[in-house]
Each structure stands twice: as structure tokens, then as C-alpha cells.
Amino acid sequence: MNVIMQFMKKNYKILLVVLTLSIALLGFSLFPSKKESDPEKDKLLIELLTFVIEKGHYNPAAIDDNFSKGVYKDYLNALDPSKRFFLQSDIDEFAKYETQIDDQILNKELSFFELTYTRLMQRMEESKSYYKDALANPFDYKADETFNADYEKLPYCKSTKELKERWRLQVKLSALSTLVEKQKVEEDKKKNAEAGKNDTPKSFEQMEKESREATLSSLNDNFSFIKDLDREDWFSIYINAISSRFDPHTSYFAPNEKERFDLSMSGKLEGIGARLQKKNDFTEVSELISGGPAWRGKQLESGDIILKVAQANGEPVDVVGMRLDDVVKKIKGPKGTEVRLTVKKQDGTIKVITIIRDEVEIEETYVKSSVVEKDGFKYGIIYLPKFYIDFEDQNSRDAGKDVAVEVERLKKEGVQGIVMDVRDNGGGSLKTVVDIAGLFIEQGPIVQIKSAAGKKEVLYDRDSKVQWDGPLVVMINEFSASASEILAAAIQDYKRGVVIGSKQSYGKGTVQNVIDLNQFVRGSTYGDLGALKTTTQKFYRINGGSTQLEGVKSDIAIPDKYAYLKMGERDIDNAMPWDKIDPANYNIWDKQNNFDLAIKKSKARMQANPQLQLIDDNAKWLDERNKENVYSLNIDKFKAEQKALEEKNKKYKPIADYKNEFVFNSLPYELEAMEKDNVLKEKRERWHESLSKDIYIEEAIHILNDLQMENNKGLSNKVKKEKVAIKS
């Protein structure tokens, strides 16, 4: 999940904590030069992390035996979640550390990490032969075998022989699934042949071999990715197993991860504007970012393989076999600098492409809007994927400013209601959510924040201007978290608009700060130590209740496919508890007529809607399916199981086929941009198509229409009364 962010330089309370920590940590200065993988650096990191967390965390857990047990469980699960590497004998050997990790942390010992890391590397190397041996010869698909994929309850294997068998069954399931799909394709070919088409069918033996080869290739790719991880990557997993036991949102950012986090928050980078992916030992261009320098140059294309990278007039460096992160580092660079890529095109030709780096905005991060009509009224849809901001550049784009611009654009188009869609929005900047909520109210409190010391702070919208005073709907789902929940809660508490969506949002009511660990170490030659994201505050609704665990309950709860699955904050074992504080002083919005009537009408519509009843039925079925983990490896039984699932799925096909009654259109400025940008045009067409299949957006528009109609009734009644007064 993304987090509510308040950087320390913008928060004097955190500055006090940092100042205290800086004084206390002066003993960490002037270390001798070491290699990055030196254990001394790892010890320093553990000491820094635990000290900073204990001093700066909202409610730090005691580092004791219970804490140790939690780290032990989380760490081993992160290393080997499917229990296909470690043996029971390994676990027995590790077990003595289950209640000693707390002591190791305090004493800066690394023996548990060293043992598990060394053993994992050994077991992974050994496992390569297990899957390769299993896939070397045809499987017997008539054998009556099963595979249990309930890894949480699955025991560790007691011997190498048992582990090899587990690998064999697992890869057999993968190959069987591929084989059955191939057989379906062949059945279609036979039908085509009957229609006079000359498709030569493949034999069972050919398909069986191809299925094993596909599984082998997939596993080789997986192990190629694992090979790219170094000791520092694995140590980060251990560090995070420690930090996340304080609470689910406290975590360590290695230097590369911190950079990616900053990018996700700002929505921009400096580079060539291309997304890359690893394909065996090669780096492939997977997508060009619309508007970026690579996209503008029209030479680099999706599917190109990058063979070499050169800086300006420097010598080209061969990047075949290089880690993806290292390739990215070589390609990225400051705005205005030159990079030369030697690429292999899809037709096999080799070409050198020169690109001048520039600032690249990740368009998908940013807000977008659309217009729709119903009953002669126009309504606006604003989709906000994240509460983004660039903390380093106040003049850069941020969600607060951008949403204000979209509201003005929609007003210019004459909309009479707005849907604010924050579904799947995991959060972001606290400042921006206060700014956005302030667009819809006159002035007043938006959110309350409580620090570790118990002091309460209320964040206000102090601007009396209301940018949008018309009908408003806020859409949420189970993945709307943090800042999204603050926005929905404020709108709900003010009765400013109707909150619709899942039964409740994610339930993350805590505030995190990112603390640069390098500031605590003077004269270090260890290189970048990364950063720590730690929970420093809790936030509360203006009505006094926390959104922690409980989230925001929708005014109108609409069934969705995830309704019965466990995936919220409340389902995490060490999540912080719910509580409440005194409410802030605020005035309910009184300019919306018959607010409750619109909710009543919506609930009546939903009860009578067979599509929503089908979605709810599907959600219950998915919950049942989620508990079934045993698969038959007998091809006839597997096919029978798949056929039964397909038959059941036919019942739910209308969910995917659903189409609402609305047509969605881009605003004029975007239509103009789309004439020059086919990538943007394609993305907007895909978005509008998804909106046209969205039953939840449909209901949001109906609610806006109800609110608008009631407003008009109120206005009409007011006019009638004025006429009566004039006559009398």
C-alpha cells in the first residue's frame, strides 16, 4: 500500500524526533571503508533501524521473545513461501533462533541471517536439478495423483527424496494445465478443419512435450530473476521482517527501493521514458511512456532488445546478462544528457539509437476526467489513482492542484454533478487530500492527527471558497486506503456527498514518515544506507473515530467480487488497533436537498438489480473456491474439474459482458492532445470502454441524477413560494 506522507522538514514534531536521534547517534560516525556487502554495514543497519523505530514510532513493540517469534515466522515465509526449498531438518536447525532474534538484534549478531541465507542459496541451487529432472521425460497423466497447494498448512519435506517429489508434482500440475489448454486449441482446429480450413492438428505427444518445455522455460526465467538478487537484496528481506513486526506499514527501503518510492509519489522521473523487463539474460523494451523522449524520437520500439548502453561519446557497455536494476541505472540520467542504446530490432537488425534524456511524467499516475450525460444533465467523472506530490519541487504537479484544474474544466463543460473515483487508490500525500477535500466544503477541519506523545493536531481547509458545491459522489472499494479514506470520511462526516462502493474501505488509519538513514551517519564510506518508512502518527475522522481497521463504511454498499475475501488491514495479525478521540468542531453541509432520499432510492435500485445479485453470488463462490487447494493430476479428472468450473463460470459470464447505458467522452483539451498522440488516445479509449462496462459508475451517475432532480425540485418549490408571495 502507498502511505500518507509528511516529510520531516514539513513537520516540526518529526524534526524534534530526528534532532534527538541525530544527537544520540553521533556514535555511528566515521566508520572504516568496507565493501557494500560487508557484515559490519548490515550490523549498522540493524542498529540504526531498531533505534530509529524505537524512538520515532507511534507505538513501538517491545523487542522480546514474542517479537522474535513474529520475525522468525515472517522471514521464513518470505524466503520460502511455497515450502519448496528448505527441508524440515533445516527448519529444525533454524528453530533454536525462534526466540533469539531479539537478542541478536540487540547484540548486532547476524548468525541467524547468515545461516538462512547460506542454506537458501544451497537449496535453490540444488532445486534446479529437481525441476529439470522432472521435466526431462513425459508425465504419466493417467496416474491418480494430486497436488495440495495450501502452502500455509503444508509441512516441510523431511527428505530430499520427498522434496523432489513435491517439485515433480508441482511442475506436473503446471504442465498439465498448459497441456489441457493446448488440447482445447486443437479441438478448435478440428472444428475449423470441418469448415474447410487446413489446420494440421498436433499429436498428444507433441503437445505434451511443448507443455513441459513451456513449464521449463517459465521456471528458468524465475530462477534467472532469483540469480539477479544479491546478498543485499536478501538482507533487505530480513530487515523488513524485523521492521514490519512493529506494524504492517513500517519498512526499510534499500537505496533502489527508496528511488522507486519517490517516483511513485511524484509520478515523474528523468530518463528516456521506457519501461523495461527482463527476458532471460536480455533486457527488453516493454512499453514507451507517452510524451517521453524515446516516444518522441520514434526509433525505439516495444519488443526491442537492448544489447549495449553508452553515455554520450563513451564506450558502449554490454548489458546482456546484467541485472535489470543495473541496466536501468545506466539508461537513466539527468535531463539534457545523452545516452546511446545498441538494440536488436524485432526483424533481427542491430541499430544504435541516440536519445537525449528528459523529464518524464508517468501519465497513469495522474488524475483524469470524463463527461457523461443522463436525462439531459451532464456529469463529470474524476479518477484519481494516487494522492501524488513531489516533495522536492513545490512547483511540480500534485494531486490537489490537478484535481482543482479538472473541476474547473468540468464546470466549463457545464456538468451538474461530479463523481470522485478513488477506487484502488492506496493513498499518498496528506497535504493533497486536505486540499482536495477543501474543494468541496466552505472551510473547516478535514482530518485529526494524534502523535505518539498523545498531542492532537487538526488539519483544516482554511479557504472559504467552494470550488464545487453541486451533487457529489465518492467511490471507494476494499483497496481504497489511507488518504482515500480521509477524503471519503470527511465527505461523509460533512454529509457533503454520498460515499458508495465496497462495504468498507481498506482500514489504514496510520501516518508514515520516510526517514533518510544517511543523515545519522557522518563520514561513512558504506555508501547509501537507504531509508526507513515508519509509523509516527494515527489519523482520525473529524467525528472522532479512527479509520484504522474499520475503514470507511459506504453509505451505499454495493456487492463486489472481493466482498468475502480477507484482504484488509483488519486481516493482518499485527495491525494497530481501532480507537477514537474527541470530535472536531464542524458544520454539516446543508445545501443538498433530500440527501437521505437519494440513498434510499439507490438501495431500492440495487435490491431489484439482478446483475448486482449475480455479483454477490459470484463473490460467495470465489470465497468458497479460495478454500479449495487440492488439484487432481489425472488428466481425465483434471478436465472434469475444469469443465465443472467452466460450467459454473458460465453463470457469471454476464458480469464480464455487462454494458451500461452511458457514453463517456474526453474533455476538449484532451481530444486535441489525442489527435497528436495515438498512445494517449488508445489509453483513453480503453478507460472509456471500461467505464461503459462498470455497473458501479452507472449507479454513481444514477445517484447524481437523483440528487440533481431533488435539487431542482427544491429550486422549483422555492420559485413557486416566491410567486405566491408576490401575488399576495
Active site residues: 482, 493, 508
φ, ψ (nearest 5 deg) of residue 343: -125, 155
Entry field: residues in the chain: 728
The x, y and z cell numbers of residue 16, run together, are: 524534534
Cβ neighbours, 10 Å, residue 687: 16
| CA 92 to chain CA mean position, Å | 36
What is d(CA 513, CA 534) in angstroms, rounded to the nearest whole number? 6
Burial profile 609-630: b = 16 or more Cβ within 10 angstroms, e = fewer? beebebbbebbebeeeeeeeee
- The Cα-based distances of 261 to 85, 392, 431 in angstroms read 31, 13, 17
What is d(CA 628, CA 393) in angstroms, rounded to the nearest whole number? 50
Residue 99 makes CB contacts below 8 A (sequence gap 6+) with 65, 68, 69
What is d(CA 365, CA 265) in angstroms, rounded to the nearest whole number? 9
The SS3 assignment for 634 reads: coil
Query: What pairing do the DSSP bridges indicate for beta strands 510-516 and 531-540?
Result: antiparallel
What is d(CA 54, CA 60) in angstroms, rounded to the nearest whole number? 6
- The Cα-based distances of 39 to 43, 96, 519 in angstroms read 6, 22, 21
DSSP string across 394-421: TTS--HHHHHHHHHHHHHHTT-S-EEEE
Burial profile 496-527: b = 16 or more Cβ within 10 angstroms, e = fewer? bbbbbbbbbbbbbbbbbbbbbbbebbeebebe
The SS3 assignment for 583 reads: coil
What is d(CA 144, CA 640) in angstroms, rounded to the nearest whole number? 14
Handedness of CA 564, 569, 574, 578 (dihedral sign): negative
What is d(CA 709, CA 603) in angstroms, rounded to the nearest whole number? 17
Query: What pairing do the DSSP bridges indicate for beta strands 498-501 and 556-557?
Result: parallel
